[in-house]
Structure 1
């Protein structure tokens, strides 16, 4: 089988590719956070940052080409009951890059560009993707997986970089940026609560998502990790110190659910692997960002409370993230080298 041409790669380029940027970015940032406890990690964290910037640029070429040259293919994917939810990974990747540039470089202006572009695009994606789903009749119970969280996750990711960036803004610009952070956090949080009920209903009453959708069970950890972090970032910009104490308690409770879900997701994944129901696919990148979000939440909570038990669990999550990221990157590189990963799934 000959290697696919660039035009063929662009035409069938999966919208979920940018989950790799999301996962690599959160690995870079959590590794940098852990460097405060073990300084040798600072070097690998910086390498991961620049590797992720390059990865985003490489993936953006076929992704943008698809939008410019193959509009029918794009529209077909946007109408798909499962694949459409992965389009917002592009805008979430921009928001993650904004957080990276703020953490690793002094170039606040570049972080602002990434953030504003990510905010505008993600609001657009959240409306377009969900409009088609709400307006149509093509989504069935079989299509309800935690992948449906992705538009909501992007909304709550906005304050991760958006909160700290507010100190570099003033006047009306700062007020609008703060308002957009609040809108994103509020909309995404409420959406997650509704989708959580839907996905748990499927797990209780319907057949489980298996095969290439098996890793989506980990996506639960993304909003569990991000929502408390974003809430704290927003509250740090508001004159309500008492609310920050309340938010810390809420963060602890949500984190507790995350610990429980981490174990459950591990058991379900091991069960699927033992049954031969875990084939490699791009969906494996779904292991990474959620784990990183939970690890980041654990590290932030440890700074607030000083509990060594929370730090220990956060390190375990980070080590698991390193394992999943390494295996998935290796398998993805093999698929790119052979061209097999560019073959569309039925």
Structure 2
């Protein structure tokens, strides 16, 4: 089998590729957070940061080429009941990079550029993806997986960098940025609650999502990890001290659900692997960002409560993230070198 030409790669370029940027970004930031306790991790965290910037730049070329040269193929994916959910990974990647630029530096100019670009583009994608789903009749229960959370995840990710960046804005710009953060967090949180019920309905009453969709069970941890942290970031800018106390309690309760789901996702994944139902695919990157989001949430809670149990669970999640990320990167690199990963999946 000959290696595919760039035009073939860009024509069929999967929108889910940017989950790799999301996962690598959260690994770099969680590693940086742990470097406060173990300084030796500061170097690897910096390497991961710059590697992720390069990774985004490389993936952006075929992604943008597809929209420019093959808009019909891109639009067809945007209207697909499953694949469309992965398009917002591009805008989420921009928001994750903004958060990286805040933590590694900070490089405020770069962070503001990536954040505003990510916010605008993600609002566009969140409306476009859901518009086609709400307007059509092509979505069936078989298509309902936690991948449906991805547009909502991007909305709640906005305050991760948006909260700290408010300190670098003033006047009307700051007011609009704060409003964008509130709209994103509010809309994404309510969407997650509705979709949570829908996905649990499938798990109770319908056949499970298996095969290449098995890793999507981990996506639950993304909103669980991000929503409380984003709430804390915004609460610091509200003139009501009690809001910060409420945010800490909410954060702990949602984190508790995350601990439970971490075990459940592990059991379901192990069961799928034992049954031979876990083939490698790009969807494996779905393991990484949710685990990283939960690890970051755990470490943030440890700073607030000072409980060693939260630290231990956070470090455990980080170690699992390192394992999943390393394995997935290795398998992805092999697929890229062989060209097999660019072949359309049956």
Pairwise TM-score range, normalised by the shorter structure: over 0.9
Match of 2:118 in 1: 118
- 2: CA distance, partners of 1:281 / 1:271: 18
1:345 aligned counterpart, secondary structure: coil
Structure 1, residues 217-238: CA drift from partner, whole Å, max 9, x if none?
Answer: 0000000000000000000111
- Structure 2 alignment gaps of length 5 or more: none
Match of 1:82 in 2: 82
Match of 2:203 in 1: 203
Tell me by how many angstroms 1:247 deviates. Answer: 1.1
1:4 aligned counterpart, secondary structure: coil
Tell me by how many angstroms 1:105 deviates. Answer: 2.0
Q: TM-score, normalised by structure 1?
A: 1.00
Tell me by how many angstroms 1:92 deviates. Answer: 0.1
Match of 1:193 in 2: 193
Whether 1:36 and 2:36 are equivalent positions in the alignment is yes
Structure 1, residues 130-183: CA drift from partner, whole Å, max 9, x if none?
Answer: 000000000000000000000000000000000000000000000000000000
Q: TM-score, normalised by structure 2?
A: 1.00
Equivalent residues in 2 for 1:169-248, closer than 5 Å = 169-248=169-248
Match of 2:3 in 1: 3
Tell me by how many angstroms 1:79 deviates. Answer: 1.1
Structure 1, residues 85-142: CA drift from partner, whole Å, max 9, x if none?
Answer: 0000000000000000111023201100000000000000000000000000000000
CA RMSD of aligned residues (A): 0.4
Structure 1, residues 294-337: CA drift from partner, whole Å, max 9, x if none?
Answer: 00000000000000000000000000000000000000000000
Q: Which runs of 4+ in 1 moved over 3 A?
A: none
Match of 2:302 in 1: 302
Tell me by how many angstroms 1:55 deviates. Answer: 0.1
- 1: CA distance, partners of 2:214 / 2:344: 18
- Structure 1 alignment gaps of length 5 or more: none
Match of 1:280 in 2: 280
Match of 1:17 in 2: 17
- 1: CA distance, partners of 2:22 / 2:11: 23
Match of 2:270 in 1: 270
Tell me by how many angstroms 1:72 deviates. Answer: 1.0
- 2: CA distance, partners of 1:106 / 1:261: 33
- 2: CA distance, partners of 1:203 / 1:272: 14
- 2: CA distance, partners of 1:160 / 1:170: 18
- 2: CA distance, partners of 1:298 / 1:118: 25
Match of 1:47 in 2: 47
